[in-house]
Amino acid sequence: MAKPAQGTKYRGSICDFPDFDPSQDAETLYNAMKGFGSDKEAILELITSRSNRQRQEICQNYKSLYGKDLIADLKYELTGKFERLIVGLMRPPAYGDAKEIKDAISGIGTDEKCLIEILASRTNEQIHQLVAAYKDAYERDLEADIIGDTSGHFRKMLVVLLQGTREEDDVVSEDLVQQDVQDLYEAGELKWGTDEAQFIYILGNRSKQHLRLVFDEYLKTTGKPIEASIRGELSGDFEKLMLAVVKCIRSTAEYFAERLFKAMKGLGTRDNTLIRIMVSRSELDMLDIREIFRTKYEKSLYSMIKNDTSGEYKKALLKLCGGDDDAAGQFFPEAAQVAYQMWELSAVARVELKGTVHPTGDFNPDADAKALRKAMKGLGTDEDTIIDIIAHRSNAQRQQIRQTFKSHFGRDLMADLKSELSGDLARLILGLMMPPAHYDAKQLKKAMEGAGTDEKALIEILATRTNAEIQAINEAYKEDYHKSLEDALSSDTSGHFKRILISLATGNREEGGEDRERAREDAQEIADTSSGDKSSLETRFMMILCTRSYPHLRRVFQEFVKMTNYDVEHTIKKEMSGDVRDVFVAIVQSVKNKPLFFADKLYKSMKGAGTDEKTLTRIMVSRSEIDLLNIRREFIEKYDKSLHQAIEGDTSGHFLKALLAICGGKD
């Protein structure tokens, strides 16, 4: 069993089995595999209940008693994923890593994700043991094999990590932290091209404690997290490796929680990844991974494994997991601290919001107006020219083009575009031509007109706009439709949902910072789900979520976790339903991370059969000059593919071309 550092608690899920008898265990396994068929239940029960050290003793005793190799017998008797899992548990950790890496670089193609996961996450000692185990098992030099199978900066960083020479001193020099921040900034953001060697040297050698301070100072100095600079300056497998290193420096357990979630979400399961992590972390930090998983994804690792796997394979994985954090009394007290720290980080992070559409230099509204008139004159329409101009001008510049078009030709540009274009492209281009507040007002009007109400559109707009944006929408709505937005909402919605939307539509959210004492009181107010009826609970949530400032609400959510061991979003989903639940969840997600909220909406608009073009268009238009670049970063971080790729795979024709122009980059 892996021994915890002195003074720290053991955080693995598998411990030494008490009253261990290796000879008895060897006999039990022999009998389970003797004769026709095998007793898989007995095998999984025994092997998942013993520590790795104890399993090695069982192997030795098995050979002494029966003259046979236990791993070879298990391979012969078992099949598929269950066999891979059980055999993986039987190998010493370093030899398990060595086997994974050997498989990753053998044959045609390389499993770069496996190389990245192992080499970015292991300690110096684990790396040294891995190199020795590889040499012993395959009589080959691991560094030479990695060099032979990879290339470029990706290879250089892997070789640096393979040395296992990361500094381990906890004493940090403030001067060196400042120097490293400056060196990284100059190597990336301030340089034409990128000095990859600086990134490799600093991220590959400095201690974890030192680098955490470097990342904090980098954010303060540059206004952006180190991850954003890595994505902007590096590419391909090298970029993925460096991002993995940063994640492991910040929190190895969070890195693995994220890897496990991605291995099981969506269609299909990445079983190799799932097996590798569950085996390799079972005696190191599985309890930490479980805590973070439960806090971050609002479901337990246990429940996700249970729903995503089957048979003996599932039973064995659940044994390694070690407990269900959704069960009563099972949610770890430590998880509150993990979540609390996550909110601490988010509270200090001041990420600069950036759009993808900017004012064009050398802007000439006269030339643009003439080019657009030419593109729509005569037979046929030149959609390419229309897209090229409108998607690459800021909204303010588009308004100048509209005025110039009318002055020159006595025609309404919007009317001409409407008659020349059709379908999704028309909705997108016309949306870009409208001033933002008038566009939002129109989207709200469309959501409420006709049979039925598009509650999702109402929620998306009203739960995410700033006070200034809401006030501008109110004015635009009154101007365009001769009716107040509040009256429209009142006549088209009802109950608590109506009250919440009207509260949001007043645009009276507080705009100050946090008040810690008041945040504790607010958290207590919404944490008490047992007092009063459901209506009273919804009113309490509305009074706080619809009126407090974003910085204050972040502190409220933090205090809420501390009091209840649950994320506020989890409580809303548990205690409420329907549109009320959906609007409160949208507010919480927007407060936590607005770009991620929109990234999720974009992903859902394109996943599965069919595309929700209205949502896709609405978000791309409305966020293009505000935070679409941030949305792109969140999208690729969460879904392992870029927004550009998602749009490319889900749309076509001129609509596709216009969306990609707004998207602004491939990431």
Express each pLDDT in 591-600 by its tens digit. 988 999 999 9
Segment 281-288 shows an average pLDDT of 95
- Are the CB atoms for 78 and 316 separated by under 8 Å? no
Taking the alpha carbons at both ends of the chain, their separation in whole angstroms is 42
- Residues 6+ away with beta carbon under 8 Å from 620: 428, 602, 628, 659, 662, 663
Question: Which amino acid is located at 565 in the chain?
Answer: N
Query: What is the distance between the alpha carbons of residues 449 and 659, in angstroms, rounded to a whole number?
Result: 27
pLDDT for 349: 52
Q: Are 420 and 381 within 8 A, CB to CB?
A: yes
pLDDT band at 187 (very low <50, low <70, confident <90, very high): confident
Instruction: Report whether pLDDT(649) > 70.
Output: yes
Q: How many CB atoms lie within 10 A of CB 50?
A: 22
What sign does the CA torsion over 544, 547, 548, 550 have?
A: positive
At residue 459 the predicted structure's pLDDT band, cuts being 50, 70 and 90, is very high
Q: Is the pLDDT of residue 380 over 70?
A: yes
Mean pLDDT over 424-449 rounds to 97
Paired tokens of 219: 């954010």
Given this model, what pLDDT does residue 3 score? 47
Tell me what percent of the residues of the chain surpass a pLDDT of 90.
75
More confident residue, 553 or 531: 553
Cα 460 versus chain centre, distance: 20
Q: How distant is the alpha carbon of residue 224 from its chain centre?
A: 17
CA distance 58 to 465: 63
Residue owning tokens 């933002």:
436
Q: Which DSSP category does 380 fall into? A: S
CA distance 91 to 124: 20
Where is average pLDDT lowest: 71-85, 323-337, 544-558, 620-634?
323-337
**Gap between the Cα atoms of 23 and 29, Å rounded:** 10
Burial of 327 by CB count in 10 Å (0-12 exposed, 13-18 middle, 19+ buried)? exposed
DSSP state string for 247-315: HHHHHHHHHHHHHHHHHHSSSS--HHHHHHHHHHHTTTTHHHHHHHHHHHHSS-HHHHHHHH--HHHHH
Contact call for residues 628 and 662 (beta carbons, < 8 A):
yes
The token duo for 490 is 């009142």
Give pLDDT, residue 512: 87
Q: In degrees rounded to 5, what are phi and psi of residue 585?
A: -60, -40
Give the rounded distance of the alpha carbon of 567 from its chain centre.
Answer: 17
Structure tokens at 662: 């707004």
Listed in sequence order, the DSSP H helices in 67-151 are: 70-77, 80-90, 93-105, 112-121, 124-138, 142-149
Over residues 542-577, the pLDDT tens digits come to 999 999 999 999 999 888 887 887 778 888 988 999
Confidence label for 2 from pLDDT (cuts 50, 70 and 90): very low
User: Do residues 204 and 212 lie in contact, with contact meaning Cβ atoms separated by under 8 Å?
Assistant: no
- Better-predicted residue by pLDDT, 157 or 451: 157
Q: 307 near 289, Cβ under 8 Å?
A: no
Looking at residues 519-540, what average pLDDT do you find?
Answer: 85
β strands within 436-483, DSSP E: none
Q: Could you tell me which of 524, 544, 533 has the C-alpha nearest to residue 576? A: 533
* pTM, 2 dp: 0.73
pLDDT at 637: 80
Q: Which of 54-68, 157-171, 505-519, 631-645 is predicted most confidently?
A: 54-68
Token pair 């994974």 in the structure block, residue: 100
CA-CA distances (angstroms) from residue 241 to 28, 158, 639, 667? 43, 8, 17, 15
For the chain, the maximum distance between any two Cα atoms, rounded to a whole number of angstroms, is 98
Report whether 176 contacts 205 (CB < 8 A).
Answer: no
Q: Are 453 and 411 in contact (CB under 8 A)?
A: no
Fill in the DSSP letter of residue 225. -
Confidence of residue 1 (pLDDT cuts 50, 70, 90): very low
- What does the pLDDT read at residue 294? 83
Lowest mean pLDDT among 3-17, 277-291, 451-465, 616-630: 3-17
Whether the pLDDT of residue 336 is over 60: the answer is: no
The answer to whether the CB of 568 falls within 8 A of the CB of 588 is: yes
Cα 53 to the center of its chain, rounded Å: 36
Percent helix, strand, coil in the chain, to 5, is: 70, 0, 30
E strand segments, 431-508: none
Six token digits for residue 474 = 């109110």
Question: Residue 432 in 3-state DSSP?
Answer: helix
Angle CA 610–612–613, to nearest 5: 110
Structure tokens at 597: 């909220």
Give the chain's mean pLDDT: 91
- Predicted confidence at residue 8, as pLDDT, reads 64
pLDDT of residue 191: 61
474 within 8 A of 485, measured Cβ to Cβ: yes
Tell me, letter by letter, the H, E, C secondary structure of 581-639: HHHHHHHHHHHHHHHHHHHHHHHHHHCCCCCCHHHHHHHHHHHCCCCHHHHHHHHHHHH
HEC letters along 400-413: HHHHHHHHHHCCCH
Least confident of 204-218, 364-378, 425-439, 556-570: 556-570
Query: 393-436 pLDDT, tens per residue?
Result: 999 999 999 999 999 999 999 999 999 999 999 999 999 999 99
User: What average pLDDT does this structure show over 95-113?
Assistant: 92
Q: How many percent of the chain have pLDDT more than 70? A: 93
Q: What is the mean pLDDT of residues 572-595?
A: 93
Residue 452 CB neighbour total at 10 angstroms = 9
User: CA Rg, the chain, in Å?
Assistant: 29
pLDDT at position 342 is: 58
pLDDT digits (tens, 9 = 90+) for 461-500: 999 999 999 999 999 999 999 999 999 999 999 999 999 9
- Residue whose tokens read 């998207």: 663
- Mean pLDDT of the region 270-293: 95
Mean pLDDT of 586-607: 93
Tokens of 132: 């020795």
CB 616 within 8 Å of CB 460: no
Contact, 619 vs 602, CB < 8 A? yes
338-360 pLDDT, tens digit per residue, is: 655 655 555 445 567 889 999 99
pLDDT for 158: 97
